[in-house]
């Protein structure tokens, strides 16, 4: 708590004026003019309250009594334990520029496009739950210098020949790169922090605890080494781009440099601890949590958005009515074509299902969150004895890429083949060969992913797809005269399509929500 020099009341940082404000005597003060005696003892540390959630162990710093009623990270309504702590001062801070009302308005605008999110996501009570939190980032500054030697070529094309000029380019480089930031909190997921980027580092200010008054803060618990290599690589790429696009060299092509090689020296000048402003909110459903965050400087929104199944089914039914009428007016399908189209739909849902299982695997292994990977090295150990083999890895990645390509184009290609079948009978065998092979490949791939997941995905759904597809294939091969066989096979496949979509929605919600965080902080 910071005392007002005029009346002794509590003063907080006022976003609109960017000054400290006392609501008791309506006084404004410069943030750097306000000091607590205990903070004045050292410029390296400041005193604050630490609130700890007894359920998940999440910690935030602040001086609000409100922190006794909620946990930002797991959404629990509980009394948080508190203690006084001395925390190391960051180097810089970007003060909040967007007020809570600005934040809520930006969030409402973003949610207008999210028609499938649960209704709680749009309720005013829920939206009012945004809290201002300063999140820690590492901000890297690099020095790039040295004697640069480059080889460039220029090709001049004439009517009967090409003239190639070779140039040896020499120069002195003296450059700096600053402003590239990476979140320094294990509690702050990388995909959310990247979704909020960029922050304008040019508006940063030297840190003083006064800016924190009225807000919460998170401590840095990720080592600067985690992102150092990535930040250095970005600085080098940006500098090379600056060189190659300069007026003198933009018309030439540089040669002689291997991929990733740079012709200059790169030195880390400083990894500065910086606090960035974020409006933060959590949504809890069972043992899962979804997060919404708004950039407190720019108003950019990043949010996990699970799907409400009832809304999804309702909108799907509404969309089905006009589609049904259009298809009846414009197209005429034979029983065989209907069966084939249903098989195409079934394969498409299976491709989506297998693709989501792969995404779940990446998420559970923290492959998309570098800080978590750095902390949990054991998650990088592969469970399969085949993994790590270059040939197997190449085949696995190739299969996944093939699935992505097929998912993007299969509807158009196979729909065309369906219409060509009456004219070219051989296409019928080609089409069903693709359908059966695709179903088999996707199912094997999905089962392989399920074995490696903590998430309990449906094993039976994958097996039913194979059984039904082979059953339908037998119907197509026998070609019974009674149309009831084709309609029966079509209905059976459409039932599986619905079941697959149910699993797809379950997988999507699992990806959109996160496991209850169990933070184990040290120190």
The last residue of one of the domains, among 54, 88, 122, is 88
The last residue of one of the domains, among 239, 270, 303, is 303
Cα 9 from Cα 3, distance rounded (Å): 5
Q: SS3 of 513, please?
A: coil
Other CB atoms within 10 A of residue 491 CB: 12
Do 159 and 41 fall within a single domain? no
Do 117 and 263 fall within a single domain? yes
Tell me, yes or no, whether 111 lies in a domain: yes
Do 278 and 387 fall within a single domain? no
What is the DSSP pairing of strand 253-255 with strand 131-157? antiparallel
CA angle 273, 276, 280 (to 5 degrees): 130
Domain boundaries, position 194: 103-303
Closest CA to 12 of 231, 216, 247: 216
The last residue of one of the domains, among 88, 112, 134, is 88
Tell me whether residue 55 is exposed, middle or buried, using C-beta atoms within 10 angstroms of its C-beta: 0 to 12, 13 to 18, 19 or more.
Answer: middle
Give this prediction's pTM. Answer: 0.77
H-helix or E-strand spanning residue 206: strand 205-206
Cα 419 from Cα 428, distance rounded (Å): 10
Do 113 and 50 fall within a single domain? no
Measured CA distances, 38 to 1, 173, 396 (Å):
12, 46, 59
- The pLDDT of residue 293 is 92
Cα 336 from Cα 296, distance rounded (Å): 58
- The pLDDT of residue 383 is 35
User: What string of DSSP letters covers 376-391?
Assistant: -GGGGS-SSSSTT-HH
Tell me, yes or no, whether 389 lies in a domain: yes
Tell me, yes or no, whether 523 lies in a domain: no
Do 293 and 318 fall within a single domain? no
Cα 434 from Cα 141, distance rounded (Å): 53
- The pLDDT of residue 521 is 46
Residue bearing tokens 């094993």: 459
**Sequential pLDDT tens for the chain (523 residues):** 677 888 878 888 889 899 888 888 888 888 888 876 655 455 678 888 888 887 777 788 887 666 666 777 777 766 777 878 888 889 999 999 999 999 999 999 988 888 888 888 888 888 888 889 999 999 999 999 999 888 888 888 887 888 888 888 888 999 999 878 888 888 788 888 888 988 988 888 999 888 988 888 888 888 888 888 889 999 998 898 888 888 888 778 888 777 767 888 999 999 999 999 999 988 877 767 888 999 999 999 998 888 888 999 899 889 988 988 887 888 777 787 788 788 888 888 888 888 888 888 887 777 767 777 776 654 343 333 334 444 445 555 555 555 555 555 554 555 555 554 554 455 666 677 777 777 777 777 777 777 777 777 766 666 676 677 667 767 666 667 778 888 888 888 888 888 888 888 988 888 888 766 554 444 3
- The pLDDT of residue 276 is 94
Do 333 and 437 fall within a single domain? yes
Tell me, yes or no, whether 520 lies in a domain: no
Do 235 and 382 fall within a single domain? no
Do 342 and 194 fall within a single domain? no
- The pLDDT of residue 1 is 65
Do 263 and 353 fall within a single domain? no
Tell me, yes or no, whether 509 lies in a domain: yes
Do 298 and 358 fall within a single domain? no
Tell me, yes or no, whether 226 lies in a domain: yes
Cα 324 from Cα 294, distance rounded (Å): 41
Residue bearing tokens 């729909």: 415
Cα 481 from Cα 475, distance rounded (Å): 10
Tell me, yes or no, whether 112 lies in a domain: yes
Do 356 and 293 fall within a single domain? no
What is the number of domains present in the chain? 3
Do 117 and 252 fall within a single domain? yes
Tell me, yes or no, whether 431 lies in a domain: yes
Please, what is the end-to-end C-alpha distance for the chain in angstroms?
Answer: 24
């Amino acid at each position: 708590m910071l005392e007002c020099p005029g009346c002794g009341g509590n003063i907080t940082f006022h976003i609109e004026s960017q000054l400290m404000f006392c609501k008791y005597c309506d006084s404004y003060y410069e943030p750097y003019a306000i000091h607590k005696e205990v903070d004045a003892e050292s410029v390296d540390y400041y005193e604050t309250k630490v609130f700890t959630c007894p359920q998940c162990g999440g910690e935030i710093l602040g001086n609000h009594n409100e922190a006794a009623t909620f946990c930002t990270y797991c959404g629990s309504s509980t009394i948080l334990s508190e203690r006084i702590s001395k925390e190391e001062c960051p180097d810089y801070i970007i003060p909040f520029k967007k007020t809570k009302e600005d934040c809520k308005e930006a969030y409402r605008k973003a949610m207008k496009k999210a028609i499938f999110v649960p209704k709680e996501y749009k309720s005013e009570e829920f939206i009012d739950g945004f809290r201002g939190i300063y999140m820690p980032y590492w901000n890297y500054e690099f020095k790039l210098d040295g004697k640069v030697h480059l080889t460039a070529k220029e090709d001049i094309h004439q009517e009967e020949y090409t003239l190639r000029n070779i140039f040896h380019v020499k120069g002195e480089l003296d450059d700096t790169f600053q402003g590239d930031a990476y979140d320094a909190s294990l509690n702050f997921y990388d995909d959310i922090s990247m979704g909020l980027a960029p922050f304008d580092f040019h508006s940063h200010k030297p840190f003083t605890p006064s800016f924190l008054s009225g807000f919460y803060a998170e401590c840095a618990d990720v080592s600067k080494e985690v992102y150092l290599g990535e930040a250095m690589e970005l600085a080098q790429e940006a500098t090379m781009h600056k060189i190659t696009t300069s007026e003198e060299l933009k018309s030439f092509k540089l040669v002689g440099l291997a991929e990733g090689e740079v012709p200059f020296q790169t030195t880390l000048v400083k990894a500065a601890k910086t606090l960035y402003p974020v409006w933060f909110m959590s949504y809890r459903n069972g043992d899962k949590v979804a997060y919404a965050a708004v950039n407190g400087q720019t108003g950019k929104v990043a949010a996990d958005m699970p799907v409400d199944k009832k809304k999804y089914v309702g909108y799907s039914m509404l969309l089905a009515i006009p589609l049904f009428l259009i298809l009846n007016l414009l197209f005429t399908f034979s029983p065989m074509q209907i069966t084939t189209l249903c098989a195409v739909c079934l394969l498409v849902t299976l491709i989506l299902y297998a693709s989501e299982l792969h995404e779940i695997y990446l998420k559970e292994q923290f492959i998309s969150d570098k800080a978590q990977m750095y902390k949990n090295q054991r998650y990088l150990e592969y469970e399969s004895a085949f993994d790590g083999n270059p040939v197997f890895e190449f085949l696995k990645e190739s299969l996944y890429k093939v699935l992505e390509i097929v998912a993007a184009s299969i509807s158009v290609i196979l729909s065309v083949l369906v219409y060509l079948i009456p004219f070219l009978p051989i296409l019928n065998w080609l089409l069903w060969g693709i359908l059966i092979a695709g179903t088999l490949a996707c199912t094997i791939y999905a089962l392989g992913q399920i074995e490696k997941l903590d998430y309990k995905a449906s094993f039976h759904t994958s097996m039913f797809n194979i059984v039904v597809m082979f059953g339908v294939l037998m119907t197509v091969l026998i070609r019974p005269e009674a149309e009831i066989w084709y309609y029966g096979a079509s209905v059976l496949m459409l039932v599986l399509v619905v079941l697959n979509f149910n699993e797809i929605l379950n997988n999507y919600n699992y990806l959109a929500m996160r496991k209850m965080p169990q933070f184990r902080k040290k120190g």
